[in-house]
Amino acid sequence: MLKHILNYLSVTIFSVILGVVSIPVLTHLLQPSEYGLYTTFMAFYGIANVVMTLNFHTSIGRYWYEKDADVSAFISTSILGALLLLLLSSILLYTSHSLQTLLGLERNMVKYLAILIAIDIFFVTYIQILAPQRESKKLAYISISKIYLTFILGIIFIYTLSIEKFLSLILAQVIIGILFLIYITIKIKGYFILRLNKKPLTYIISYSGPLFFYSLSAILMAQIDRIMISKMISPAETGMYSFAFTIVNFLTLATSAILAAWTPDFFEDMEVQSYKKVAEGIQKIISLSFIVAIFVILFGNYIGYLLSGQSYHNALQYIPILTVGMYFSFGYQLYARGINYSKKTHYLAITFSLAGGLNIGLNYKLIPLLGIIGAAIATLCANIVLMLGGYIVNKFILKYPDAVFLPFIKTLVVIIIALCIKYYFDHLAYLDFFIAFFTFIIISFYVVYTYRKILIPILQKKG
């Protein structure tokens, strides 16, 4: 498992490095309003990616573990179905002026959305082919190459093209995406048969149907606050909020890498009902993710100061509370693995719909009253409800042994203590940094000592 964690973690590390490099570059080249326009478009892209394909191509990773799976027929049906839905929805959106007005989306941006989503269909398909085969190294190479080449070309376009700066970044995504589309098409052509198959279609509808509402609610929770801030306040405020989330995403990237590496082991252990191994895996993941969360809470603002211009510094105060919100989201992802295994994905839809509805409602009420901090509070509350929903489904409906709640709550108590220390000493300038540093060292030693029987085998294991 360690080998795959390191491969997935390499994507995280290189993404973090790019984040470190890109933040000062983008905050120097783009004003908060321009950065806000770009992140608002990316929010629309994330939502449209789910709505315009109905998540038709996202069940391949789960189907791979089925016995007697006809992978070629399934992949072909997934891709063709997703492309057909994208074509129909793109025509509707491009020709409907009233729909464009309702969304606040310019007509010329629709074509960029459609192209990027088409590319993503093939990219996500390829990732779902590589992951179950434990091709983590190849997955890491393609993921890292794509993000770096996109960033480099985006900067070149900002300096050389006479178009809006945020549009230069989008155009770079399109061009690099098309190059990767050609590569991926060559790689997966052996899996592709130009026909729809009824049996895979039934599986896709039964699995991805409920998962659509889950994915839509998830992306709304992740992106709707940016759109609402842009409409209710200004694109500049959206840029500030997005910048704070960029720092917090260091936690999300780390937990995603760890969870991705663990998923094949999780499914195998659940298949033979080895719940003790599942519990051990969960404790490893919580302990590692907890340390990252503490680091972001204590040092996220310093990272932000180093990497951004003065115009973005007001956003740094929101990093700790956003980090706690994302830690609850991570807790839910642990429960979501069990729901995915059960294939009862309608529970994912229900829990995320409830949390997503709460998030939208709280944003609607709190953003006009409190501004950006209102959006941060809404995100935190929604993620708390989300994790509690995952706990209830796993423990009382699916009746799986619960190995998440108690270890999570223990780490959460320490996180709250660290949060209080951070806010209490925040005004003490340099002293605050040393207090944060020693707090992090003490907590890290505590975690390593407490979970030494679990963490030491990770370091000793060769793969």
| Beta carbons of 237 and 286 less than 8 angstroms apart | no
pLDDT digits (tens, 9 = 90+) for 153-180: 999 999 999 899 999 999 999 999 999 9
What does the pLDDT average to over 138-149?
A: 85
| Beta carbons of 414 and 294 less than 8 angstroms apart | yes
- Rounded Cα distance between 379 and 329, Å, is 10
Q: Say what the pLDDT of residue 138 is.
A: 79
Q: Say what the pLDDT of residue 358 is.
A: 94
pLDDT digits (tens, 9 = 90+) for 202-212: 777 777 776 77
Q: Say what the pLDDT of residue 9 is.
A: 57
pLDDT digits (tens, 9 = 90+) for 399-454: 998 889 999 999 999 999 988 888 877 766 566 788 888 888 988 887 777 766 66
What does the pLDDT average to over 125-140?
A: 76
Closest CA to 86 of 41, 53, 59, 50: 53
- Rounded Cα distance between 172 and 181, Å, is 14
- Rounded Cα distance between 53 and 58, Å, is 10
Instruction: Give the distance, in angstroms, between the CA of residue 399 and the centroid of all CA atoms in the same chain.
Output: 27
If one counts the domains in the chain, the total is: 1
Half-sphere exposure of residue 93: CA atoms within 13 angstroms, side-chain side: 23
Closest CA to 117 of 44, 195, 19, 222: 44
DSSP per residue, 227-252 = HHHHHHT-HHHHHHHHHHHHHHHHHH
| Beta carbons of 248 and 323 less than 8 angstroms apart | yes
Q: Say what the pLDDT of residue 69 is.
A: 63
Half-sphere exposure of residue 52: CA atoms within 13 angstroms, side-chain side: 26
Burial class (CB in 10 A: 0-12, 13-18, 19+), 461: exposed
Closest CA to 298 of 441, 92, 142: 441
What does the pLDDT average to over 195-223?
A: 76
What rounded mean pLDDT belongs to the chain? 84
Which one-letter DSSP state was computed for residue 394? Answer: I
The token pair at 250 is: 């260091």
More confident residue, 251 or 461: 251
Q: Say what the pLDDT of residue 112 is.
A: 94
Closest CA to 177 of 129, 116, 127, 86: 116
Domain that includes residue 256, residue range: 2-460
Closest CA to 283 of 72, 82, 452, 38: 452
Residue 195 neighbours by CB under 8 Å, 6+ apart: 76, 80
Least confident stretch, 102-106, 227-231, 255-259, 277-281: 102-106
